[in-house]
Structure 1
């Protein structure tokens, strides 16, 4: 048996063998890419859910009496691991508003009007909700 006799068999088996090896490697790589995107999406959903379930109750719901943000409530929120995971995604404007050390008291000014749930009067809550919504849209989770 010479090389001339064996060469057609090598060509006949080599092409499909190379195609099989290349195809299996390419399929594995593509499948890994899809799995990676799925894991990133899942992690982002977990972050947004955690922020909503942990930070929003910490900040507090809209209340009738004046609401003091700076102090204990601000310190508790800012020392939370949920805020630490949210902070890198916040806009600089939101960070300045949230971390401002000045004491802010928000009072419903016009007592003759019926109390509403107008978000403009609920300072930290509105900032957090708006920022989480913005991040959720930016990440294309909605």
Structure 2
């Protein structure tokens, strides 16, 4: 028996790879009469290499509203006819994605990868890699495509 998915999470960073993932999430949602949850995570600033204690950063409500507006426009353009919800979270991307997947009872995560290798991968890590390793639900990753 083939698996069906009713709640699909698609993390979006507005890069081409996440747009490719959104296209796949849309097709899967159509086939399964599923809801797509678009999520963008506003990242925490990188910690400076100083000996000063960490400083609390106030949420940037204007930037959050801008991100929400971009998600809403993207949903209107790319998810017509499919049930969807736009979500914005603040924090570290991987834990936020995993927490939301748990809270919303997501049964599939569809996400793009940046395809970093070597030093950039080591320094920046891989959100997709962490999600694949720690997710309790299936994860479909969309690898970088060649530029047109």
- Larger CA Rg, structure 1 vs 2: 1
Name whichever structure is richer in helix by fraction. Answer: 1
Give the number of the structure whose residues are more often strand, by fraction: 2
TM-score w.r.t. length of structure 1: 0.24
Higher relative contact order (CA 8 A, sep 6+): 2
